[in-house]
Amino acid sequence: MELLTSPEMWMAFATLTLLEIVLGIDNIIFISILTDRLPEEQRPRARYAGLSLAMVMRILLLFSLTWVMELTVDLFTLFDEGFSGRDLILISGGAFLIFKSTIEVHNSLEGDEDHHGMGKVASFTGVLAQIAVVDIVFSLDSVITAVGLVKHLEVMVAAIVISVLIMMAAAGTIARFVEQHPTIKILALSFLLLIGVTLVAEGFEVHVPKGYIYFSMAFSIGVEMLNIRMRRRRRAAIAPIKLRQAQLGDLVHE
């Protein structure tokens, strides 16, 4: 009851929920791009399964706080640089993101998914396995943020559950938007590539302020939204002209 009546706890809960949603946006984008290779009827189930897996993983990590904190202890030293379990997870997860994003960009630009039928060859289990790999990296980052912000486990679990439920509600809309706009997909893959490089850098103790990354992402998306709106207006302006030309062509043939 003390937690429910504490304004500080409600403020911490709201702040953490918002941060969890922000930190989960890249996860949603990655899940949307991966599930796009599944048959259309399997995509919603794969998105919900991937986000549910992320939620379960984060909660399990929260209940293993002692183990999570031990991940920051150096396991070995290489060239006078200490590497902890967290560093290794960030480096391997970042490398996976770089590899996967590069492959997806190549397939999108070269048209391999159209010409070679690669668009729907992924299996449901294979997609979930790839989502699980990235969930581990994103969940670790999310849990460390939660631990640094809030001291009560109940508040952290509640914030994670609410944020994932919100992301589940938005996942379908985001996935459809990415699917309908190829330029947004390339932009999203570029973001994931940038996040992968950042994770590898973090693993080598080169700290990149997250604010710079999120600002660049927001700015790029804003510019692309203006481009999409301008293209729609241009198509709307051209449509009547094309219609009149088609009607004149029919009159000439008659």
Is 61 inside any structural domain? yes
Let me know if residue 2 belongs to a domain: no
pLDDT at 82: 83
Q: What would the pLDDT profile of 211-222 be if each residue is shown by its tens digit? A: 777 777 778 888
Note whether residue 145 is domain-resident. Answer: yes
What are the 10-residue block averages of pLDDT along the chain, 254 residues in total? Answer: 64 77 76 82 86 84 70 76 82 84 79 47 78 77 66 78 86 81 80 83 80 77 84 78 68 59
Q: Are 192 and 26 in contact (CB under 8 A)?
A: yes
pLDDT at res. 66: 61
> 152 and 222: one domain?
no
Beta partners for residue 83, in sequence order: 76
**Same domain for 111 and 133?**
yes
Supply the DSSP string of 39-91, one letter for each residue.
-GGGHHHHHHHHHHHHHHHHHHHHTTHHHHHHTTSEEEEETTEEEEHHHHHHH
Contacts of 187 (CB under 8 A, 6+ apart): 220, 221, 224
By residue count, the chain amounts to 254
Q: Full-prediction pTM beyond 0.85? A: no
88 and 60 co-located in one domain: yes
Residue 179 CA to residue 218 CA, distance in Å, equals: 19
Report d(CA 247, CA 241) in Å as an integer. 10
Is the sign of the CA dihedral 198, 48, 171, 34 positive or negative?
Answer: positive
pLDDT computed for residue 185 by the predictor? 78
16 and 105 in a single domain? The answer is yes
Is residue 1 one of the residues assigned to a domain?
no
Q: Are residues 119 and 24 in the same domain?
A: yes
Q: Is 128 found in the same domain as 232?
A: no
Q: Do both 18 and 107 map to the same domain?
A: yes
| Residue 201 covered by a domain | yes
Show the domain range for 31: 7-72+81-208
Q: Based on the domain organization, do 158 and 46 belong to the same domain?
A: yes
Q: Do 64 and 169 have their domain in common?
A: yes
Q: Is 151 helix (H, G, I), strand (E, B) or coil?
A: coil
What are 34-87's pLDDT values in tens digits? 888 788 888 888 888 888 888 888 888 777 766 666 677 777 887 777 888 878
Taking the alpha carbons of 17, 19, 22, 28 in that order, is the dihedral positive or negative? negative
Whether residues 155 and 243 share a domain: the answer is no
Q: How many other C-beta atoms can be found within 10 angstroms of the C-beta atom of residue 66?
A: 7
From CA 114, how far away is CA 92, in angstroms rounded? 30
Domain count, the chain: 2
| Pairwise CA distance, residues 3 & 6, whole Å | 5
Task: Please name the residues in contact with 112: beta carbons below 8 A apart, sequence gap of 6 or more.
Answer: 106, 118
- Within a domain: residue 176? yes
For residue 181, being part of any structural domain is answered with yes
Do 15 and 119 lie in a common domain? yes
Domain co-membership, 230 together with 195: no
Task: Name the percent of the chain in helix, strand, coil, to the closest 5.
Answer: 85, 5, 15
- Which one of 191, 208, 225 terminates a domain? 208
Q: What is the pLDDT of residue 119?
A: 46
